[in-house]
């Protein structure tokens, strides 16, 4: 068996993964970083931008979610955004250096009448030269095929937690429903983005259980978002205890060891993470972020803050991995973005601001 084949496994067991979580912190991070370097440039981070194309009034009961209609979170509900508005946002995201544009809708699943609009969004985003990603809830096989034919690159659908803890968090759709959607996405030829949330009161065993579910899929998700719970007022998880930062970093490191070829995305909760925690997460193998001041409905660090930290850490944004034909142009754009930022920081520093 080649070295690579030995590292890409689909037969992880609970005792093995629990043992990884129990390693001394430095040992775990060293292992994760070593595996990470086998497949990725450790100084590159992929940058995606996220837009809520349909906000609030979701019929599902996910206990963490500010968009569920079961909880009073004071969120203004909105209709599906117009296609041209979405494309204007995508254009702006491209100008800031994002390589992937992710669109999220607060739906249980898309309705038939929604499909022409979401497929038009995918086509428009692709025409701008960006990778496209959508998260619209559960999909039928037909819907997955329609999205694939429109050119969708990635579909995000999270397992959220372990099968054992899942029922404490969501009752309106089952774990099996989620796995079914992931299979339909994979079968339609769309890349899979699937991960979960840490900090919902789950045990380490549950974190291991979630990562095993993802790693033991027939093909690892290309992208694995690890969200730190954003405790939104009005949701049942608003008063959840604060998560230990090192436990969060451990989850990133174990995700990387289990799925070495996947991009591990540092997702929700970054607003609560300082520069040092970001740096540790990158060291543990996180190599993708959502960039821009808003996630779907909650705050995210300012783009400037991320670029400033990238510069301090010698990290560069990763060029997108499709349509290699205009990679050079992409690279130039990213260089320009960085140069502009550097110039601004030097200017600010010289002004004493
Ligand atoms: N409605 C679709 C669905 O549930 O698949 C798509 C949007 S949903 C908001 C996407 C993901 O965001 C959820 O699966 C969950 O993992 C994450 N998320 C939502 N609220 C969050 C919160 N307060 N903190 C952390 N992650 C959250
Ligand atoms: C994912 O795993 N995290 C993103 C994305 N996929 C769609 C969403 C995070 C949402 C955080 C809460 C909010 O902003 O509403
Ligand atoms: Fe709806 Fe998705 Fe929020 Fe669940 S996570 S309530 S499905 S928007």
Query: Cα–Cα distance between 44 and 57 in angstroms, integer?
Result: 37
What's the CATH fold of domain 3-352?
TIM Barrel (3.20.20)
pLDDT at 178 over 80: yes
Q: Tell me the per-residue pLDDT of 115-168, one tens digit each, with 9 for 90 and over.
A: 999 999 999 999 998 999 999 999 999 999 999 999 999 999 999 999 999 999
The tens digit of pLDDT for each residue in 41-87 reads 999 998 888 999 999 989 999 999 999 999 988 878 789 999 999 99
Q: What is the pLDDT of residue 328?
A: 43
Alpha carbon distances (Å) from 328 to 55, 59, 114, 211: 36, 45, 36, 36
Band of residue 306 on the pLDDT scale cut at 50, 70, 90: confident
pLDDT value at 339 more than 80: no
Task: Please give the radius of gyration of the chain, using alpha carbons only, rounded to the nearest integer.
Answer: 19
Task: Please report which confidence band the pLDDT of residue 335 belongs to, taking 50, 70 and 90 as the band edges.
Answer: low
Phi, psi dihedral angles at 62 (to 5 degrees): -50, 120
Could you state, in order of their start, the residue ranges of all structural domains in the chain?
3-352
* Residue 104 CB less than 6 A away from ligand 2: yes
- Percent of the chain scored above 90 by pLDDT? 73
Give me the pLDDT at residue 97, please: 73
Cβ of 68 below 6 Å from ligand 3: yes
Ligand nearest to the CA of 235: 1
Atom 5 of ligand 1, nearest CA residue: 137
- Candidates 237, 262, 268: which one to mutate for ligand 2, based on the most atoms within 8 Å of Cβ? 268
Written as one string, the DSSP assignment of 195-208 is: -EEE-SS--HHHHH
- Residue 308 to residue 319: CA distance in whole angstroms: 18
Mean pLDDT of the chain: 89
């Amino acid at each position: 068996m080649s070295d690579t084949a030995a590292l890409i496994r689909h037969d992880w067991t609970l005792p093995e993964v629990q043992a990884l979580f129990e390693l001394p912190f430095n040992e775990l991070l060293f292992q994760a970083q070593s595996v990470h370097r086998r497949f990725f440039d450790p100084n590159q981070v992929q940058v995606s931008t996220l837009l809520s194309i349909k906000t609030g009034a979701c019929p599902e009961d996910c206990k963490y979610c500010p968009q569920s209609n079961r909880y009073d979170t004071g969120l203004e509900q909105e209709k599906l955004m117009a296609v041209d508005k979405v494309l204007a946002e995508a254009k702006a995201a491209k100008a800031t250096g994002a390589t992937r544009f992710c669109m999220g809708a607060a739906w249980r699943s898309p309705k038939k009448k929604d499909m022409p609009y979401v497929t038009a969004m995918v086509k428009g985003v692709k025409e701008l030269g960006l990778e496209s990603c959508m998260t619209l809830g559960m999909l039928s096989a037909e819907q997955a095929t329609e999205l694939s034919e429109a050119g969708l690159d990635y579909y995000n659908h999270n397992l959220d937690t372990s099968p054992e803890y899942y029922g404490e968090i969501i009752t309106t759709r089952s774990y099996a429903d989620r796995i079914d959607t992931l299979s339909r996405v994979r079968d339609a030829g769309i890349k899979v983005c699937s991960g979960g949330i840490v900090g919902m009161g789950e045990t380490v065993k549950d974190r291991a259980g979630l990562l095993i579910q993802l790693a033991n899929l027939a093909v690892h998700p290309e992208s694995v978002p690890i969200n730190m719970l954003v405790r939104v007022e009005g949701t049942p998880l608003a008063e959840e205890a604060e998560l230990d930062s090192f436990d969060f970093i451990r989850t990133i490191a174990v995700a990387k060891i289990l799925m070495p070829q996947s991009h591990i995305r540092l997702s929700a909760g970054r607003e609560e993470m300082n520069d040092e925690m970001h740096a540790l997460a990158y060291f543990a193998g996180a190599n993708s972020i959502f960039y821009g001041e808003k996630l779907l409905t909650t705050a995210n660090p300012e783009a400037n803050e991320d670029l400033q930290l990238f510069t301090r850490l010698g990290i560069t944004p990763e060029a997108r991995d499709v349509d290699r034909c205009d990679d050079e142009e992409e690279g130039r754009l990213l260089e320009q973005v960085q140069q502009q930022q550097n110039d601004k920081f030097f200017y600010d520093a010289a002004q004493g601001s």
